[in-house]
């Protein structure tokens, strides 16, 4: 059955691949973005998928935007919390703003969209929320206390909210990607990236489409019994 889906940070990188995967499966997709207007316009021109601009870390803006999407397009049954940023640095050099921005956007964004959509999903007896965590939230990463804490928080958030949705047909799951070939990873210095790839058993970076296909499964009818789980898609880099 076709549903209305929102994908935060859905106009480029992993989010773009997720938007396309859900669109290809017949859903009515709305992609959100933060401010990269050029990429968002190109995305809509290429795919026909509308893009709505707001900051997922802004609670009020998220409530208003989700209400607007529900009014203009239809009740939101699928939410992919994908928007994320990094502000890396060792603790001594990490500012409070670097900490706060990463927590506010990566983890706060999940709370904000859930607040705007979860009650409706429960009332309608069907919903899918997929939160994009990270291998670095599972294993930790040097220079990323903010990002690792936010992503680890996403995994806890997922398990707690899954318990609230289970009786109402609303599943809540997470995906923990390993290193995926997107703009975010392009920002990692080449020598550091080489060392990272050397630690990936399959010997390469992942593609955004490999995350998108996992995400599409978690949003499908076939995944009705999967909730509170974390799907690790990381080329074998972290197994547990």
Active site amino acids:
147
Query: C-beta of 147: minimal distance to ligand NDP in Å?
Result: 7
- Residue 47's H or E segment, with its range, is helix 37-47
Which CB sits closer to ligand NDP, 126 or 136? 136
Which CB sits closer to ligand NDP, 167 or 195? 195
Query: Distance between CA atoms of 45 and 109, rounded to whole angstroms?
Result: 26
Q: Which stretch binds ligand NDP (CB under 6 A): 4-12, 70-78, 160-168, 221-229?
A: 4-12
Binding mask 194-213 for ligand NDP (x = CB under 6 A): --------------------
What are the b/e assignments for 184-214, b being 16+ CB within 10 Å? ebeeeeeeeeeebeeebeeeebbebebbbeb
Query: C-beta of 172: minimal distance to ligand NDP in Å?
Result: 16
Query: Distance between CA atoms of 111 and 117, rounded to whole angstroms?
Result: 10
Interacting residue with ligand NDP among 28, 134, 171, 227 (CB under 6 A): 134
Query: Distance between CA atoms of 203 and 185, rounded to whole angstroms?
Result: 16
Is the distance from CB of 3 to CB of 29 less than 8 angstroms?
no
DSSP letter string over 194-228? Answer: HHHHHT-TTSS-B-HHHHHHHHHHHTSGGGTT--S
- Spatial CB neighbours of 135, under 8 Å, sequence gap ≥ 6: 176, 177, 178, 179, 232, 234, 237, 238
Nearest to 20 by CA among 44, 52, 55: 44
Interacting residue with ligand NDP among 4, 9, 76, 127 (CB under 6 A): 9
Q: Which stretch binds ligand NDP (CB under 6 A): 20-28, 114-122, 172-180, 212-220?
A: 172-180
Interacting residue with ligand NDP among 29, 66, 180, 219 (CB under 6 A): 180
Q: Within positions 30 to 89, which residues make up the interface with ligand NDP, using CB under 6 A? A: 32-36, 39, 55-57, 82-85
Query: C-beta of 129: minimal distance to ligand NDP in Å?
Result: 14
Query: C-beta of 226: minimal distance to ligand NDP in Å?
Result: 20
Which CB sits closer to ligand NDP, 113 or 171? 113
Which CB sits closer to ligand NDP, 117 or 182? 182
Query: How is the chain split among helix, strand and coil, in percent rounded to 5?
Result: 50, 15, 30
Is the distance from CB of 171 to CB of 165 less than 8 angstroms?
yes
Determine if 114 is a binding residue for ligand NDP (CB under 6 A): no
The residues that touch ligand NDP, with contacts defined as CB under 6 A, are 8-9, 11-15, 32-36, 39, 55-57, 82-85, 105, 132, 134, 177, 179-180, 182-185
């Amino acid at each position: 059955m076709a549903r209305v889906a929102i994908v935060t940070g859905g106009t480029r990188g992993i989010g773009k691949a997720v938007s396309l995967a859900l669109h290809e499966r017949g859903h009515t997709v709305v992609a959100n973005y933060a401010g990269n207007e050029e990429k968002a316009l190109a995305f809509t021109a290429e795919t026909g998928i509308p893009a709505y601009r707001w900051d997922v870390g802004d609670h009020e803006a998220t409530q208003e935007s989700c209400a607007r999407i529900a009014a203009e397009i239809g009740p939101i049954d699928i939410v992919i919390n994908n928007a994320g940023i990094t502000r890396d640095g060792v603790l001594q050099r990490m500012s409070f703003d670097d900490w706060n921005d990463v927590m506010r956007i990566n983890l706060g964004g999940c709370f904000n969209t859930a607040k705007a959509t979860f009650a409706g999903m429960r009332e309608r007896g069907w919903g899918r929320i997929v939160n994009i965590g990270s291998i670095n939230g599972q294993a930790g990463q040097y220079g990323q206390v903010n990002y690792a804490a936010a992503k680890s928080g996403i995994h806890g958030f997922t398990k707690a909210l899954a318990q609230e949705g289970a009786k109402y047909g609303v599943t809540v799951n997470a995906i923990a990607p390993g290193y995926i070939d997107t703009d975010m990873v392009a920002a990692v210095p080449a020598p550091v990236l080489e060392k990272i790839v050397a630690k990936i058993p399959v010997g390469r970076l992942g593609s955004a489409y490999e995350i998108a296909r996992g995400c599409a499964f978690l949003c499908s009818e076939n995944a009705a019994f999967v909730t509170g789980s974390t799907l690790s898609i990381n080329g074998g880099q972290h197994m547990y």
